[in-house]
């Protein structure tokens, strides 16, 4: 298998996204057993001192989750929702607070309970629960569960981070993005749940905002399962969309197995939005109202610390996670503060505004926070967990150059500022991890993308989607037609070391003091359940030597 260049590229229109690339993939043949699925505790719900739910079908229908581990804590999450997609967005609960008990144990049988307490699941937050634990042992595994009345939740497993600055010889995490529910099954998450991981990083497009496309779309084979309702706009709509996605047993299994650290991209609100500007040019006040609803539902359904609770349409999501002296992860938000697309969000020639110093992808505060944090970091690997591709991608064969306006290419001045800073400060082993474009890439990030001889400053791993884009195109002519174009593009984007656009999956990363390894794990298919998942290709970065090599 050729690993050092594009295989085949098709430029297509999809989802009004600037481009979608499809190509030939690796052969897949290894069968992988699926993860154990969490079983839901049964039993009649008994009324609490505060209120009781309206049905007895189980309140922990959306599973459990944990997130953002620190050396002494982690956030625990659940939601009470006996009827997850109830029209009012309250998940079948009465609009009254309900008392929830939580337990944390060092063993799966809960023989050694190390923490417990009670909290209120409040209707103002959709009866979600966020427990911010503290004073736990570092680098330790814990099990947790919730109780409401006589109901007991599935058991989750989590892990605290290694203490800052301590020696850590290994850190294993997976990153994922783009899990369009209608497009396929979450087979990749079933595989992920069987891995041995310290963390899962989600890089956005956790939900998609589009409407139910109806039974016809299923019979036509366009989709395999359905959204509910129209395009989502209100808090109830967004809550119900998260609830729908979170009913998936494979997604629940991956949440229950590891702590996650999440960030959003555009579809958590609206395709290709930029700060207060919607793609369709909605009036700003109306769009900010929608953004406030979307951000609140995001906070409610993610294992985020209570300090992330949004205020109106504003929510601070960017933050930093540290794992001993081995890894520091800056989790970025490239949607809330970015300049409106300097040259438009389509694919076009670069306009002057993309290079203007006022152009920003992160907003000035987040950019300063990021660069100061990188300057202060003592970690071997410095990870930027973010949404859109940073490596340059010239999509025009020949001397002309066109770029996708929604990616860092559309904000080239902001990209250059960050890469120049990394180079001038000698940041230790910067690695960028990326989602968004439903395809797999390995990129060397260059001091000057126009000059292949210029320094490689950082390495970028772009992971494919969990489902978005669906299965490989069965028509061989579709790929063959673009082969010549792919050759031409590969020739003028030599910093792109690998590209594959056909398969869905996720990326598994193992970090040691000397090496970063990324395994690209692809599902054979997503439109049929339980397809095999296997490692299609692996790349490594040697510490002290930026740029990726085939493993
Ligand atoms: Fe996506
Ligand atoms: Ca060109």
Co-location of 224 and 82 in the same domain = no
CA of 310 to the centre of ligand 2 (A): 43
CA of 178 to the centre of ligand 1 (A): 4
Q: How far is the CA of 49 from the centre of ligand 1 (A)?
A: 43
Taking the centre of ligand 2 as the mean of its atom positions, its distance from the CA of residue 510, in whole angstroms, is: 35
330 φ, ψ (degrees, to nearest 5): -95, 115
168 and 140 in a single domain? The answer is no
DSSP state of 395: -
Cα-to-centroid distance, 144 and ligand 1 (Å): 31
> Minimum-distance ligand to the CA of 267?
1
At residue 397, the pLDDT reads: 81
pLDDT score for 17: 29
Do 435 and 473 belong to one domain?
Answer: yes
Distance (angstroms) between ligand 1 centre and the Cα of 407 equals: 13
Q: CA 294, 300, 302 angle in degrees (round to 5)?
A: 100
> Where would I find the H helices in 439-509?
476-480, 483-492
The answer to whether position 209 is within a domain reads no
What is the pLDDT, as a whole number, of residue 479?
63
Sign of the C-alpha dihedral, residues 131, 199, 6, 415? positive
- Ligand 1 center to residue 131 CA distance, Å? 30
The alpha carbon of 349 and the centre of ligand 2 are apart by a number of angstroms equal to 10
For residues 62 and 89, state if they share a domain: yes
CA of 527 relative to ligand 2 center, distance in Å:
35
How far does the centroid of ligand 1 lie from the alpha carbon of residue 16, in Å?
11
| Helix 364-376 / helix 412-425 crossing angle, nearest 10 deg | 20
Q: What is the CATH number of the domain that holds 455?
A: 3.60.21.70
Residue 512 counted as domain residue: yes
Distance CA 274, CA 284 (A): 11
Q: How far is the CA of 402 from the centre of ligand 2 (A)?
A: 7
- Tally of domains in the chain: 2
Ligand minimally distant from the alpha carbon of residue 400: 2
Structure tokens at 3: 């690993």
Closest ligand relative to 392 C-alpha? 2
Q: Which ligand is nearest to the CA of 468?
A: 1
243 Cα: distance to centroid of ligand 1 (angstroms): 18
Any domain includes 271? no
Expressed in angstroms and rounded, the spacing between residue 184 Cα and the centre of ligand 1 is: 13
d(CA 494, ligand 2 centre) in Å? 12
Q: In terms of domains, do 151 and 172 share one?
A: no
Least distant ligand from the CA of 203:
1
Distance of CA 275 to the CA centre of its chain: 19
Q: How does 336-350 read in b/e, with b if 16+ C-beta sit within 10 Å?
A: bbbbebbbebebbeb
Can you read off the two tokens belonging to residue 254?
A: 């991956």
Nearest ligand (C-alpha, residue 349): 2
Do the domain assignments include residue 261? no
Q: Which ligand is nearest to the CA of 490?
A: 2
Instruction: Say whether both 87 and 233 belong to one domain.
Output: no
Question: Phi and psi (nearest 5°) for 253?
Answer: -65, -40
Residues 391 and 501 in one domain: yes
Distance 488 CA to ligand 2 centre (A): 8
Listed residue (54, 105, 104) closest to 80, CA to CA: 54
Please name which ligand lies nearest the alpha carbon of 450. 2
Do 144 and 192 lie in one domain? The reply is: no
* CB proximity list for 122: less than 8 A, separation 6 or greater: 97
Answer yes or no: do 133 and 193 share one domain: no
* Ligand with an atom nearest the CA of residue 401: 2
In the chain (551 residues long), the average pLDDT of successive 10-residue segments reads: 29 28 27 27 34 56 98 98 97 97 97 98 98 98 96 97 95 98 98 98 98 96 96 98 98 98 98 94 97 98 98 98 98 97 92 95 98 98 98 90 95 97 98 96 96 97 97 74 64 90 96 98 96 98 97 95
In a domain, 526, yes or no: yes
* pTM exceeds 0.85 for this model: yes
Helix H, strand E, coil C: the string for 391-405 is CCCCCCCCCCCCEEC
The 10 Å Cβ neighbour count of residue 401 is 15
Give me ligand 1 centre to Cα 165, in Å.
36
353 and 448 within one domain = yes
Quick one: which ligand is closest to 398's CA? 2
Q: Does residue 486 contact residue 2 with C-beta atoms inside 8 Å? A: no
Q: Within a 10 A sphere around the Cβ of 385, how many other Cβ atoms?
A: 26
pLDDT at residue number 14:
28
Asked, for residue 313, whether it belongs to a domain, the answer is no
User: DSSP code of 193?
Assistant: H
- Does any domain span residue 493? yes
Of residues 493, 388, 362, the one with CA closest to residue 9: 493
- Ion ligand 1 residue ranges (Cβ < 5 Å): 178, 205, 468
What's the gap in Å between 146 CA and the centre of ligand 1? Answer: 32
Q: Which of 121, 139, 158 is the last residue of a domain?
A: 158
Residues 97 and 111 in one domain: yes
Q: What is the pLDDT of residue 23?
A: 30
Q: How far is the CA of 450 from the centre of ligand 2 (A)?
A: 10
Q: Which ligand is nearest to the CA of 504?
A: 1
Residue 478's domain spans which residues? 162-203+218-237+324-550
CATH number at residue 146: 2.60.40.380
Q: Is beta strand 113-121 parallel, antiparallel or unpaired with respect to 98-105?
A: antiparallel
Neighbours of ion ligand 2 (CB under 5 A): 394, 396, 401
CA distances (Å), 308 to each of 248, 316, 317, 333, 383, in order?
A: 25, 6, 6, 13, 21
Closest CA to 69 of 284, 233, 303, 286: 303
Co-location of 144 and 183 in the same domain? no
Phi, psi of 505 (to 5 degrees): 165, -145
| Spacing, Cα 462 to ligand 1 middle (Å) | 12
Q: Is residue 311 part of a domain?
A: no
């Amino acid at each position: 298998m050729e690993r050092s260049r594009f295989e085949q590229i098709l430029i297509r229109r999809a989802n009004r996204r600037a481009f979608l690339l499809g190509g030939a993939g690796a052969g897949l043949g290894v069968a992988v057993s699926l993860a154990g699925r969490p079983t839901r505790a049964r039993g009649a719900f008994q009324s609490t001192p505060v209120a009781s739910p309206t049905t007895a079908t189980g309140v922990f229908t959306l599973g459990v989750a944990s997130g953002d581990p620190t050396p002494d804590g982690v956030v625990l999450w659940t939601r009470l929702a006996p009827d997850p997609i109830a029209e009012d967005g309250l998940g079948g609960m009465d609009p009254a607070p309900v008392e929830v008990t939580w337990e944390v144990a060092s063993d799966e049988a809960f023989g050694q309970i190390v923490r417990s307490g009670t909290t209120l699941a409040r209707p103002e937050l959709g009866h979600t629960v966020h427990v911010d634990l503290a004073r736990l042992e570092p680098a330790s595994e814990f099990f947790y569960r919730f109780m409401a009345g006589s109901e007991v939740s599935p058991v989750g497993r989590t892990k605290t981070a290694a203490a800052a600055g301590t020696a850590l010889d290994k850190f294993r995490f997976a990153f994922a993005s783009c899990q369009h529910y209608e497009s396929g099954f979450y087979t990749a998450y079933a595989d992920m749940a069987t891995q041995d991981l310290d963390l899962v990083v989600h890089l956005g497009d956790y939900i998609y905002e589009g409407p139910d496309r109806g039974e016809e779309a299923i019979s036509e084979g366009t989709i395999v399962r359905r959204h509910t309702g129209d395009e989502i706009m209100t808090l109830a709509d967004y809550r119900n969309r998260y609830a729908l996605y979170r009913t998936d047993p494979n997604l629940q299994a991956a949440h229950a197995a590891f702590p996650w650290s999440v960030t959003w991209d555009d579809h958590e609100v609206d395709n290709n939005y930029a700060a207060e500007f919607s793609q369709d040019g909605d009036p700003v006040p109306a769009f900010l109202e929608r953004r406030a609803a979307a951000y609140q539902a995001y906070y409610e359904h993610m294992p985020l610390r209570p300090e992330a609770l949004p205020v109106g349409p504003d929510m601070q999501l960017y933050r930093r996670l540290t794992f001993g002296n081995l890894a520091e992860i800056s989790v970025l938000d490239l949607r809330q503060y970015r300049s409106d697309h300097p040259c438009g969000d389509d694919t076009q020639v670069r306009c002057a505004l993309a290079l203007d110093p006022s152009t920003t992808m992160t907003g000035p505060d987040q950019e300063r926070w990021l660069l100061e944090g990188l300057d202060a970091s003592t970690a071997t690997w410095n990870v930027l967990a973010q949404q859109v591709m940073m490596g340059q991608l010239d999509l025009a064969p020949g001397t002309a150059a066109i770029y996708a306006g929604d990616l860092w290419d559309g904000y080239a001045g902001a990209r250059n500022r960050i890469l120049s800073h990394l180079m001038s400060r000698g940041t230790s082993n910067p690695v960028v991890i990326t989602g968004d474009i439903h395809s797999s890439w390995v990129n060397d990030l260059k001091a000057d993308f126009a000059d292949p001889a210029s320094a490689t400053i950082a390495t970028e791993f772009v992971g494919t989607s969990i489902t978005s884009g669906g299965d490989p195109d069965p028509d061989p002519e579709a790929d063959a037609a673009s082969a010549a174009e792919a050759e031409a593009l590969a020739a003028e984007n030599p910093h792109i070391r690998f590209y594959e656009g056909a398969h869905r999956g996720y990326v598994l990363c193992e970090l040691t003091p000397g090496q970063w390894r990324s395994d690209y794990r692809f599902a054979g298919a997503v439109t049929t359940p339980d397809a095999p998942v296997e490692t299609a290709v692996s790349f490594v970065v040697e510490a002290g030597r930026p740029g990726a090599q085939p493993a």
